[in-house]
Chain A
Amino acid sequence: MYVLIAGGGKAGANVMRTLLRNGHEATIIEQRRDRFERLEAEFEHQAMHGDATELFVLEKAGIKRPPDLVLALTGDDEDNMVIAQIAKEKYGVGKVIARVNDPRNQPHFDLLGISPTVCATSSILGLVEHEVPEHDLIHLLELRKENLEIVEVQIDKSSPSAGQTVEKLRLPEGSRLISIMRDGKAEIAVGSTELQPGDQVLAILQPGKEDELRRILLKK
């Protein structure tokens, strides 16, 4: 596989190292002179100095082949978005993964159809949510392309859904229960599955249905 990496910070350099170790072909582009020199010492001709948002720099790095994968990993969200758009729409790169530095820019990535994206801050926030008990509905996974997400809900004694079977719950359209975790064992949720206090329920739903689902399962 041929991979083009834009941005030679910690993320870019580590991905580069792993790809090469696994026998892939890769080029890494870095704009800052000091960083580039360190990359060049390690990766030799596979490191390139330049601005990866400039077309001639991307072309020199082989974007016309095109690569199987482009990683836009710079520390600037606007640069990552522009690199992703150019790679996909001008050079027909099949897959682009872009880094989101500031989660507030996520809507811009979505608007421009850039997916998948990776955001360290959002991942950390997700983990924090998981640790904080007040959060009754935890986001586990976002499937952006499918416009679906998977969440976890904890049923307790006061939940109106406790003691009900799944088929009797009037779940919002665009949502489904996947599984129930009870006493350390998971089972697939079917129509006759009865919810009990203490259950950890996994649900798949369209973003925006969280409040409806919360109301039906937890009434909060």
Chain B
Amino acid sequence: MKLIVIGCGRVGSTIAKRFASDGWSVTAVDENESALSRLGENWTGGFIVGHGMDASVLREAGIEDADAVVVATDGDNTNLIIGQVAQKRFGVDCTVVRILDPARADFFRERGLRTICPTSTAIDALTDAVRSCDIPQRPLEEAPV
């Protein structure tokens, strides 16, 4: 199976390493060459320096026969466009896009793009964490006279 990860930051690089250790053929794409170091010294997968908006960079990364694409650069709008290009132009059905703004994530999800919103996930997790706290009951205060 072949995966392309666009945006090789904290999130992208970890996903790339995870799938590589599962035996997938993985190519990471990042604008900065220094992002390669995030993949570790033993990285045997592909690494392309370039912008994901550039169709020739996507082709060089092998998008034409990719089984899955993860888009996780640090720009929501950049991710939205690259995700739609991967899905609509290159026909990769399993395209997953990280979007930080819940409103845009919802709107583009309704339109058929698989968006993952870490902000919404954090809101839910934090809310649940507070609700599940074991908070001791306060002693009843005396009613004012």
Chain A residues with CB under 8 Å of chain B are 53-56, 76-79, 81-82, 86, 89-90, 104-105, 107-108, 111-112
- Indicate whether B80 reaches chain A with its CB closer than 8 angstroms: yes
Q: Is B107 touching A81 in the complex (CB atoms < 8 A)? A: no
Give every chain A residue within 8 A of B107 (Cβ-Cβ): 55, 86, 90
Q: Is A55 touching B77 in the complex (CB atoms < 8 A)? A: no
> Given known contacts A107-B55, A108-B53, A111-B88, is B81 in contact with A53 (CB within 8 Å)?
no
Give every chain B residue within 8 A of A89 (Cβ-Cβ): 111
Q: Is B53 touching A77 in the complex (CB atoms < 8 A)? A: yes
Q: Is B84 touching A112 in the complex (CB atoms < 8 A)? A: yes
Number of interface residues of B (CB under 8 A): 18
Give every chain B residue within 8 A of A76 (Cβ-Cβ): 77
From the candidates B55, B76, B111, name the one contacting A53 in the complex (CB within 8 A). B76
- Tell me how far the C-beta of A77 lies from the nearest C-beta in chain B, rounded to whole angstroms: 7
Q: Is A111 touching B103 in the complex (CB atoms < 8 A)? A: no
From the candidates A54, A82, A105, name the one contacting B80 in the complex (CB within 8 A). A82
Q: Which 7 A-B pairs have the closest CB atoms?
A: A78-B77, A55-B103, A82-B77, A78-B81, A78-B78, A79-B77, A81-B81
Alpha-carbon distance A56/B101, docked complex (angstroms): 11
- Which partner residue on chain A sits nearest B88 by CB separation? A111
Alpha-carbon distance A105/B81, docked complex (angstroms): 10
Alpha-carbon distance A78/B77, docked complex (angstroms): 6
- Indicate whether B104 reaches chain A with its CB closer than 8 angstroms: yes
From the candidates A53, A56, A104, A105, name the one contacting B77 in the complex (CB within 8 A). A53
Mind listing 6 A-B residue pairs with CB under 8 Å? A54-B101, A77-B53, A77-B81, A78-B78, A79-B77, A112-B81
Q: Is A81 touching B77 in the complex (CB atoms < 8 A)? A: yes
